[in-house]
Amino acid sequence: MNKFLLAPSIIAADFTHIADEIAACESAGADWLHVDVMDGHFVPTITVGPLFTEACKRATKLPIDVHLMISEPEKYLEAFAKAGANNITVHVETCPDLTGTVKKIKSLGCTAGITLNPATPASALDSALPFADLVLVMSVVPGYSGQVFMPEMIGKAEEIRNKLNALRSKAHLEVDGGMSEKTIPLMVQAGANVFVAGNAAFKHPQGVGQGIKALRASVV
């Protein structure tokens, strides 16, 4: 069982042969598959939905880690749970009752993640923190892969790690955005244990298998 988990972000893959890309992630030792759902409203980009998530589920044994960058996520929880999501992460900026949404996700049999934009203070998660299975720290402004890591998010990750420790929480601390062989160690230091990687995995010159292997080498 890996202490540090790698979750390649599939929207950075070559969509003309998704199944091969997923298989390469799996054989290279990825732990989860991160699916970025974007609605063109909460973030400018439109990506994928439950149908694509269900196809990913059929293409791999890896747990499916769904990141909802959509308005009114409550409306779609059931669809993503049915599609086979293992984890569903929602943004505090889109959930008026974050704790209620977390409980709803768990009632559907999925683990529940909470996340926040870089501009949102960590304290915004406080009420839901005791109930979350995962906290995702965004180290880029959500909406695109291939952006530059925001080092000012290191302090936020440390702050959230301290909050989780004070709660004796077993929640994962996941980081998403600009993760690479250079930036992952910085977030390991801050107390994170799960790392999403889009470009660093799928745009590696020797292909995604090598990309995953290089990222794994940066966390041992």
> Residues with catalytic annotation?
36, 176
**Binding site partner of 147, from ligand DX5, Zn ion, none, Cβ cut-off 5-8 A by kind:** ligand DX5
- Stated as kind and residue range, the H or E segment containing 194 is strand 194-197
Determine if 172 is a binding residue for Zn ion (CB under 5 A). no
Determine if 178 is a binding residue for ligand DX5 (CB under 6 A). yes
Q: Choose which of 67, 91, 156, 172 interacts with Zn ion (CB under 5 A).
A: 67
Query: What whole-number distance in Å separates Cα of residue 121 and Cα of residue 140?
Result: 14
Residue with smaller CB distance to ligand DX5, 4 or 130: 4
Query: What whole-number distance in Å separates Cα of residue 119 and Cα of residue 193?
Result: 22
Determine if 8 is a binding residue for ligand DX5 (CB under 6 A). no
Show the site string, 64-93: x = touches ligand DX5 by CB under 6 A, - = not. Answer: ---x-x------------------------
- Give the binding range for Zn ion (CB under 5 A) out of 15-23, 112-120, 173-181, 211-219: 173-181
Query: Measuring CA to CA, how many Å separate 46 from each of 38, 119, 147, 200?
Result: 5, 22, 17, 21
Task: Please check whether residue 98 is in contact with residue 114, taking contact to mean a CB–CB distance below 8 angstroms.
Answer: yes
Determine if 102 is a binding residue for ligand DX5 (CB under 6 A). no
Closest CA to 63 of 8, 105, 136: 8
Identify any residues that bridge with 174 across adjacent strands, giving them in sequence order: 136, 194
Residue with smaller CB distance to Zn ion, 158 or 176: 176
The nearest distance, CB 165 to ligand DX5, in angstroms, is 25
The nearest distance, CB 145 to Zn ion, in angstroms, is 8
Total number of residues that touch Zn ion (CB under 5 A): 3
Rg (the chain; Cα; Å): 16
Identify any residues that bridge with 91 across adjacent strands, giving them in sequence order: 115
Cα–chain center distance at 49: 15
What are the residues binding ligand DX5 (CB under 6 A)? 9, 11-12, 34, 36, 67, 69, 140, 142-143, 145-147, 176-179, 196-200
